[in-house]
Copies of this chain bind each other. A is one copy, B any other.
Amino acid sequence: MVFLPQLPHNNKEEIKHMMTQKLVKLFSPDSVAVIGASNSFDKLGYHVMKSLVGHYAGKIYPINLKGGKVWNLDSYASLAEVPGNIDLAIIVVPAALVPETLHQCGGKGVKGAVLITAGFREIEDSQGGVLQERIRKICDQYEMPIIGPNTSGFANIAFGIDASFTSEFCELEKGGVAIISQSGGLCHLCGFLALHQRMGVSSLMSLGNRLNVGFPEAVRFFIEEDEATKVIALYIEGLDEPRELLDMARSLRGKKPIVAYKSGKSAKSDSASKFHTGSLAGNHEIWKGAFRQAGILEVTSSEELIDTAKVLDSCALARGNRITVLSGQAGPGIIAADALEAYGLSLSQFSAATKEKINEYLPPIVIRTNPVDMGPVWYNPKAMFDILNAVIEDEGTDGVIFINLYASANLSLASAMAEHIKNIDAFKKPVIGVITAPPGVWDDGIKRLDRKKGIAILPTPERAAKAMSNLWKANLLSARGK
């Protein structure tokens, strides 16, 4: 933890409590000042205002030296002139002005800040590092938590604030995944993937240079303090003190699943990620082992990170590796079966009761063993739903991949299936649906498949199989810690 040792207090627990309280206010502020707010489209201060105005329900104070209206709100020439309290300051002024700005924040009693401004430790010019040390001392002086510098900001979707320069994050659906990215670019990539995939997000943020809020602080916050968060998704480039994150994850093991995507595997990309200081940064094999020991589930691509977080948020864990494939179309069922075996899962055997239920509905002309070709009951959503339930009840099955491709020709079937799922409590075993349709055909219907029903939708059979294997690995990692 970067922050604590440098504070003047003696009682670490007390400081931790105070810091946590400040982080709560930072992430769920009642009032926000935007320092460098602007009416000019070319300025980041414009886009931060765009993310807030009309979306955020708390008080917004634009700070702008010129005064006048900014985004139709009265602006203030300085923080000191703001009449009320300020929980969060979002700072977009040039780097040279940041020290003075932070003093003003401290003086005003701001609870925490998002420092979007870049030009600190991340630049090659050593003056960047000097400036970063300078502002670190100022933040220490005021005991003020800072996201950044060199961050794209954060969005707390569950609470209702987008404190970033990307207003599209306001469109993210509410859910249980907290995305914590070292890089602003990956934060955006993951956010855009989440939007395209309708993944439910609690919060998303980029940590940037991690002045005093790094992975350990952020992860602990979302595990211990943020009720909306059910799953933590991390993008890590390199860490100065990897042990802090790993020890913290181990100590909180089993509380909320943590999924991590670590880059810098190759020598060149590691050099590009500019992390030469952390002892564990360079050797990916060591990272793999360390993640496993800490109970962190490692993934190997940005899409796998989002897919896995999505199923962890929506579905039960897979208590074993025996999976059933039910498919309205034979071909996609076959490729799901292939992929499951490739990822170390096996196809479940059915009990007598399950066989009976399947035989009740499916004629002997099709494959009734796993993968099950549901073609003949394609026009009978009730039958498909009954077979799905029978398989979930079967003790020999630990999870189900449920595949249906809908075009406009069978929209009514898709809707009938959605109605069935709407009326259940929740599947008690993981169900990953590959319920695919052309753009625009069934967007609403897919939306109606509520993530509270224990089912998550992924775009292809292979990605569903990979995500199912991660639900099984997450279960193993979670159990190992108990």
Spell out A's residues near B (CB within 8 Å). Answer: 44, 47, 50, 123-125, 128, 165-168, 171, 181-186, 188-189, 191-193, 195-196, 235, 237, 261, 263-266, 268-269, 272-274, 301-303, 327-335, 337-339, 341-342, 347, 364-367, 369-371, 373, 405, 407-409, 436-439, 441, 459-463
- Point out which of A125, A264, A301 has the most chain B C-beta atoms below 10 A from its C-beta: A301
Bound-state Cα–Cα, A333 to B264, Å = 11
Copies in the complex: 2
Contacts A301-B460, A338-B269 given; does A235 touch B124 at CB 8 Å: no
Report yes or no: A192 in contact with B263, Cβ–Cβ below 8 A: no
Bound-state Cα–Cα, A184 to B410, Å = 15
A-B complex: 3 closest residue pairs judged by Cβ atoms = A185-B329, A183-B331, A185-B331
Contacts A47-B409, A181-B331, A192-B436 given; does A341 touch B268 at CB 8 Å: yes
Report yes or no: A338 in contact with B165, Cβ–Cβ below 8 A: no
Chain B residues near A335: list those with CB within 8 A.
186, 261, 263, 269, 301-302
Chain B residues near A273: list those with CB within 8 A.
334
**CB of A444, distance to nearest CB on chain B (Å):** 14
Report yes or no: B405 in contact with A438, Cβ–Cβ below 8 A: no
Report yes or no: B437 in contact with A192, Cβ–Cβ below 8 A: yes
Report yes or no: A301 in contact with B438, Cβ–Cβ below 8 A: no
Contacts A329-B183, A334-B264 given; does A460 touch B193 at CB 8 Å: yes
Contacts A168-B407, A407-B168, A438-B168 given; does A269 touch B183 at CB 8 Å: no
Bound-state Cα–Cα, A237 to B332, Å = 11
**CB of A202, distance to nearest CB on chain B (Å):** 18
Chain B residues near A261: list those with CB within 8 A.
335
Interface CB pairs A-B, < 8 A, 8:
A125-B365, A166-B409, A168-B407, A185-B329, A186-B331, A268-B371, A272-B369, A274-B367
Q: Given contact pairs A263-B335, A272-B337, enumerate 19 new A-B contacts (beta carbons under 8 Å).
A: A124-B365, A165-B409, A166-B407, A168-B407, A183-B332, A185-B327, A186-B335, A188-B407, A189-B405, A196-B438, A235-B331, A261-B335, A263-B338, A264-B338, A268-B337, A268-B370, A269-B337, A272-B373, A301-B462
